[in-house]
Structure 1
Amino acid sequence: MDELTLLRSTRDLTREPSREALMRGRAALISQIDGELPVALFAEVGEQTAFTPLKTRRRRRTVAWAGFSVLGAASVVVALVATNVLGVAGWNGGAEPAAASALRSAAAAAIQVSDPVVGPGQYLFVRTDGVYAGVGTLEEDADRIRAEGGDVQPSDEVAILASTRGELYVPADRSDAWVWITCTSQPSQTFGPRSERYAQEYADAMNAYDLDVIRRFPGGITPGGGSFGGYAEGTTTSIDYDALPREPRPLLDKIYELNGNSGQSRDGQALEWIISTLQWGIVPAEFRAALYKAAAEIPGVEITDDQATLDGSTGIAIGRLETASNTRQEFIIDPETGQYIGERRVTLDGYAGIPPGTVTGWTAVTTSVVASAPADAASCDG
């Protein structure tokens, strides 16, 4: 992302500065020009806050400018606002101070605590356990929905939480075959009678097929030519972590660039990219530290729970509210070791029978070193 693009991005009013950043910029500006001009340069004229569930409008703050003829004062305005409110490449200040401090401490710890040593012939074993929200309709409603033209109404939708599990075996010699096992999903939580019926239909559908699958990827390369795991790079993936910057701001700018216009918001998608990258469990410690520092630069990131437990492991939950869907996305880290524990999502509105405030999905990641990789998916039975 070049400087011109960054400068243009400061005009995007859909990305609102924090009140603290706005006040710092305003205070610095007023202090500089107090007594020199007969009019106030900033006048806050309103704020739009109305929203509807799942299609929330992003809040926009409108700032009115009073014109004046002193060119030097105008230059001061631009410089002070850009420095104190916008920063060079986005809103200044990034994450909330407590979250930024926790992330930088975890980054320092991640570098000090070495990664597992995988000896010749051994494998790095990464296990992921979690749940996700499954939403659909009941068989008993199928005829009526078809008779009504096939349009599914919100009242027709019903949801459950279903389990998910994966096992990744990464060889010490990464040019050898990587082994990936996925296990059949099963219902894990329901939300009332309709949800219970949907859970049974879901389980019947899953059990009708043998969905415990083992796959092998020579050199960790998928049939499509991308790396298995790693980070998203356009339409493919890569594990060339050395190709990415290590300094927090350049790294975050690169993440913005890789994401393009995808996601519900630029900052939310950047955090999602970081979480998705960490979730594979194969990120080396020094790059994991860089990702933590980059997350500390993202506006709206805050500590959401200082004692978050995920699948038996406890750490600090750090997340951000995505206002477009009114969903909070979080990742959990061990502050003492910098280890990534996992991620979770919380719906603040609720949907399809899921109550507001429910954790609608989570994934816990554990890593270890093992002597061999399995030849089949029998481990799913354990």
Structure 2
Amino acid sequence: MTDPIDELLAGLRTDVPEMSEEAFDAGRTRLATHIDAPVPVVATEPYISVTPLRKKRLLRSLPRRLVASAAAAVALAAAVPVVQAARTDGAAPVATAAAQLNAAADRINPVDEPIRPGQFRYTITHRWALGEVMQEYERGNCQLPPGKGGPVVRLDDDDAKLRPCKKLPGGDLRLLQETTTEHWVPADLTQNCLWRNTTTGRYRWLVGDDERGRAVGFPMPRRESSEYAPPGCTDGARWLSGRLSPAFVAALPRDPRQLHDLLRRENLMTLPHPDKAFLDNVDLALDSGFASADLRAALYRALALMPGLRITEQFANLDGKKGTAFGLSRDGIRTDLIIDPATGQFIGMREITETDSSGLPRGSVVNYSSVANPVVVDRVRATH
């Protein structure tokens, strides 16, 4: 029978003479030395540490030629640098959140696309948000629990009391529904803007399904659209309005510290979570379609001054766009703003559950939006 070791080594050099006893003993000694030597371990945070395997005593049973080949392999490996795999789970970022935000601000194209009289800047925000939550209770001559939407029914007889409504199997029903928000902002801001809000009718169940929803009268999303044209684009003068005007956005300071302090003062009234409101307001300005290149850079630098902001994911994906997620956690919900670090483009935001609560498992995306950069169009309602 052919020795398998001979087959394995058949492709090696054949011009080497048969190994002598002295060469064999020397090779075995070198191999044992390398095996017994301690393996250095680098345990810095951004990398995966390596623990050496326990030594096994195999030398006595190995053929001479295999020992010689192993000794050569050890010598070759010693000459090759070891490359450790960087962690890709986002837990150990390459740079701090502040450093990456400032770098993204540096990469923003400082010149916005020019716009001529009669043209419009068009922006669209695509959003999936948590829709109406409905608790499944029986309907009829019973009293719903407080806060569940049921009116208090009073009978003529004061002594008569309604029995509590029984909770049906299955618990809460929750779904995400899709909406779009479109802005057309004219070059001449004395003209009217146009804002269009659309519920597309598309939805995704987080808890429940169509059959259960119809059985309890769940309000299934349907397509609806509305348009609003504020005269002179003047509507929306404060953060709390949820809608900002071009003039309001244009007047914001470009100094990062001043902008940070302004946002901080505005959010003091949103206690107990002004930091969450801070992120929401930065998102509101960035996806308004009104923020010029210099203001977008200032917003990134102001955000970099926020204590507690961290990189939650290096390669977040929204609608096929990838960027770095900068997030903050409050009350079991993490809010992320996502920015392409290579171009400085604002991609969107998302909210993710960090605990198992309200019938939703940890890690559920309960709200996200993706934003397209403004494009210049020739007429209102045009999209390209």
TM-score (norm 1): 0.63
Q: Distance in 1 between matches of 2:233 and 2:140?
A: 47
- Give a deviation string over 1:36-82, Cα, whole Å, max 9, x none: xxxxxxxxxxxxxxxxxxxxxxxxxxxxxxxxxxxxxxxxxxxxxxx
**For residues 1-40 of structure 1, what are the structure 2 equivalents within 5 Å?**
none
* Structure number having the greater helix percentage: 1
The residue identity in structure 2 corresponding to 1:136 is V
Matched, 1:167 2:165: no
Cα pair distance change 1:174/1:250, threshold 3 Å: same
Q: Distance in 1 between matches of 2:255 and 2:94?
A: 19
The residue identity in structure 2 corresponding to 1:102 is Q
Q: Distance in 2 between matches of 1:236 and 1:129?
A: 16
- The structure 1 residue matched to 2:143, chosen from 147, 154, 163, is 147
* Structure number having the greater strand percentage: 1
Q: Which runs of 4+ in 1 moved over 6 A?
A: 199-203, 233-236
- Give a deviation string over 1:235-273, Cα, whole Å, max 9, x none: 984533454332222221111111222044232322222
- The structure 1 residue matched to 2:119, chosen from 119, 122, 137, is 122
- The structure 2 residue matched to 1:133, chosen from 130, 135, 142, is 130
Secondary structure in structure 1 of the residue aligned to 2:230: strand
- The structure 2 residue matched to 1:212, chosen from 210, 225, 244, is 225
Question: Would you say the 8 A contact 1:163–1:188 is kept in 2?
Answer: yes
- The structure 2 residue matched to 1:359, chosen from 331, 341, 365, is 365
Matched, 1:99 2:97: yes
Cα pair distance change 1:151/1:203, threshold 3 Å: closer
1:24 corresponding residue in structure 2: none
Say how many residue pairs are matched. 270
| Residue 337 (structure 1) shift | 2.1
1:177 corresponding residue in structure 2: 192
RMSD: 3.2
Q: Distance in 2 between matches of 1:199 and 1:218?
A: 42
Question: Would you say the 8 A contact 1:159–1:198 is kept in 2?
Answer: no
- Give a deviation string over 1:291-338, Cα, whole Å, max 9, x none: 10011111111111111111121111111112xx11110111122221
1:297 corresponding residue in structure 2: 305
Cα pair distance change 1:125/1:364, threshold 3 Å: same
Cα pair distance change 1:268/1:199, threshold 3 Å: farther
Question: Would you say the 8 A contact 2:197–2:227 is kept in 1?
Answer: yes
1:35 corresponding residue in structure 2: none
Matched, 1:371 2:368: no
Q: Distance in 2 between matches of 1:277 and 1:145?
A: 49
Secondary structure in structure 2 of the residue aligned to 1:343: strand
The residue identity in structure 2 corresponding to 1:343 is M
| Residue 201 (structure 1) shift | 7.5
Q: Distance in 2 between matches of 1:115 and 1:199?
A: 49
Q: Distance in 2 between matches of 1:290 and 1:264?
A: 26
Cα pair distance change 1:147/1:202, threshold 3 Å: closer
Cα pair distance change 1:137/1:203, threshold 3 Å: closer
**Larger Cα Rg: Structure 1 or Structure 2?**
2
Q: Distance in 1 between matches of 2:187 and 2:215?
A: 42
Cα pair distance change 1:146/1:100, threshold 3 Å: farther
Q: Distance in 2 between matches of 1:189 and 1:304?
A: 25
Q: Distance in 2 between matches of 1:176 and 1:312?
A: 35
Q: Distance in 1 between matches of 2:303 and 2:196?
A: 30
The residue identity in structure 2 corresponding to 1:288 is R
2:18 corresponding residue in structure 1: none
Secondary structure in structure 1 of the residue aligned to 2:194: strand
- The structure 2 residue matched to 1:332, chosen from 338, 352, 356, is 338
Secondary structure in structure 1 of the residue aligned to 2:286: helix
Q: Distance in 1 between matches of 2:105 and 2:129?
A: 28
The structure showing larger relative contact order (alpha-carbon pairs under 8 Å, at least 6 residues apart) is 1
- Give a deviation string over 1:112-136, Cα, whole Å, max 9, x none: 4422222221111101111001242
Secondary structure in structure 2 of the residue aligned to 1:261: helix
Q: Distance in 1 between matches of 2:233 and 2:180?
A: 19
